[in-house]
Amino acid sequence: MIAWRLLFDAAARDEKVAQRLLFLGISPTARELASHLQSHPELGILPLGYLSDQKPGPDAESTLPWLGGFALLDAVIENQEPGSLVIARREEILPVWSHNFLELGFGGIRIEEVSALYERTFGRIHASDAWPPRFIVADVFEPDPAISRLQDIYSPVLAAGLLLFLAPVLLAVAAWVRFSSGGPILVRPWRAGLDAVPFRLWRFRIAGVSGGQWLRRRGLDALPQLLNVLAGQMLLVGPAAERPEYAATLSGLIPFYSQRTRVKPGITGWEQVHRFESGAPDTLRRLEYDLYYIKNLAPSLDSAVVMLALKERFL
């Protein structure tokens, strides 16, 4: 396994093997993406630079080199041999170039928008690319109804199995909470559920409990939420359940925030397992992960989230 990983890492860092990427136009999203790809050569993607008829100013960032105007596209493709062209700014792409792009596609060069590559690389939607008017009437962030129905089947079944399997753990935690603090074992705060309908969340009380922070780090305080899954109020995987007043306030401030309630909240989720990977989380970044999850809803993604959650809690 170690030898295989070393071989893969060496291959990914080899510029001859890495996928060579050429940006058409430039934007803050493209620069952020290029900087990340350059600092993570193990991803196997090599940004070559960008073409734009707008020459960079003297104070332009050097993250991504300017290779000239669009008139040099054929020459740059011949010399640099990119495998992909990424459209960073639609405003700089003329409609008459559609035929040329089709020919390049038939020639084996992949053409995509920067938002698609950003999503695959970071595992989240880029907020600035999600707000254009063309998205307002689109159903791009609507969950697949068939997958939602499938979740409503396998989540309660798995929750029932977990309750039986973890019954000794639940009893042990309940006894710990009771005898270490003398207070109630459970708390039932209100949370916003599917379509923002409020419901009562089951949770072990950890305030004032000896070792309460340890219980929270391991996620043991959330085990009673399996009852919410059985009741059809939650899923095993989904966006975090927010307080109704908090969710209502943010829905009025942030576009598409209410879209995260188009699926049931989860005990864990795609946003939750990425929450602390880049410092203190912010509301907009959390929304980006939630929208990515809703857009790519699938049992395979749920399985990946569960594996990541177990790794984060116990490894």
In a domain, 136, yes or no: no
Share of the chain above pLDDT 70, in %: 87
Q: Are 81 and 108 in contact (CB under 8 A)?
A: no
Of the CA atoms within 13 Å of residue 126, those in its CB half-sphere come to 21
Residue 199 φ then ψ, to 5°: -150, 165
pTM value is 0.85
Are residues 63 and 90 in contact, defined by beta-carbon separation less than 8 angstroms? no
Containing domain of residue 71, as a range?
A: 2-122
Which tokens sit at 72? 């040099």
User: What's the domain count of the chain?
Assistant: 2
Q: What is the mean pLDDT of residues 148-157?
A: 97
- pLDDT per position as a tens digit, 268-280: 999 999 986 655 5
134 domain-assigned: no
Residue in the block written with tokens 């795609």: 270
Q: Is 9 inside any structural domain?
A: yes
Residue 133 located in a structural domain: no
Q: Model confidence over 68-101: pLDDT tens digits?
A: 999 999 999 999 999 999 999 888 888 778 888 8
Query: Are residues 289 and 172 both part of a single domain?
Result: yes
Q: Which two tokens stand for residue 140?
A: 């791009």
Tell which wins on pLDDT, 5 or 206.
206
